[in-house]
């Protein structure tokens, strides 16, 4: 792993613990075990570090979503697997009080490709339902809401599974009624 990769790995934890506004280049440098001048050899500023962190998180989430989608099982299992990637990230990556700040900052910087990639993975899993892109976008938005709600991780996972079962069950029932 390169020094730049080590810094990004350390920065994921720093942004998760302190949010975007409270994170400083000094905190990132300390967490990565490098001097501030060494940090500036790899990154121009905090936004540059944050963009690298966002790219890393996006890649990790996308890979996990594709593995979940390709793991087999019922379409509901595949959809739940992809959405679980988003939910687990919401539960585990950042402290609750900083989640929205980090998402907002990423969107403001134009770094919101994670949702697009997750929607694409969901569309593949939802290929048999009417309007798979719209369904994928609605399910992903609902997952974000579940991730921001109160409850234990187990309760949030249960809510997500219930949502997937209700939506896909409803779509299956509707398609059988039209036949």
Q: Residues 5-29: pLDDT tens digits?
A: 999 999 999 998 898 999 999 999 9
Cα separation of 76 and 44, whole Å?
44
What percentage of the chain's residues is helix, strand, coil (to nearest 5)? 80, 0, 20
Mean pLDDT of the chain: 87
54 has pLDDT over 80? yes
pLDDT at 29: 98
Which residue carries 């959809």 as its tokens? 79
pTM: 0.78
Q: Residues 29-53: pLDDT tens digits?
A: 999 999 999 999 999 999 999 999 9
pLDDT at 41: 97
* Residue 166 burial by Cβ neighbours in a 10 Å radius (0-12, 13-18, 19+): exposed
The tally of CA atoms less than 13 A away on the side-chain side of residue 166 is 9
Higher-pLDDT residue of 78, 148: 78
121 has pLDDT over 70? yes
Structure tokens, 31: 């967490």
Q: At what angle do helices 113-125 and 132-147 cross, to 10 degrees?
A: 120
176 has pLDDT over 90? no
């Amino acid at each position: 792993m390169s020094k730049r990769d080590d810094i990004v790995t350390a920065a994921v934890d720093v942004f998760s613990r302190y949010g975007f506004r409270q994170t400083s280049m000094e905190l990132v440098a300390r967490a990565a075990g490098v001097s501030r001048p060494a940090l500036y050899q790899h990154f121009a500023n905090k936004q540059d570090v944050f963009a690298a962190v966002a790219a890393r998180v996006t890649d990790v989430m996308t890979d996990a979503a594709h593995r979940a989608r390709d793991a087999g099982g019922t379409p509901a299992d595949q959809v739940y697997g992809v959405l679980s990637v988003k939910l687990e990230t919401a539960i585990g990556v950042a402290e609750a009080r900083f989640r929205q700040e980090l998402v907002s900052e990423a969107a403001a910087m134009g770094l919101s490709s994670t949702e697009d990639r997750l929607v694409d993975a969901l569309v593949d899993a939802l290929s048999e339902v009417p309007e798979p892109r719209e369904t994928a976008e609605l399910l992903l938005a609902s997952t974000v809401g579940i991730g921001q709600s109160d409850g234990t991780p187990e309760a949030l996972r249960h809510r997500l599974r219930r949502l997937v079962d209700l939506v896909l069950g409803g779509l299956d029932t509707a398609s059988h009624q039209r036949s």
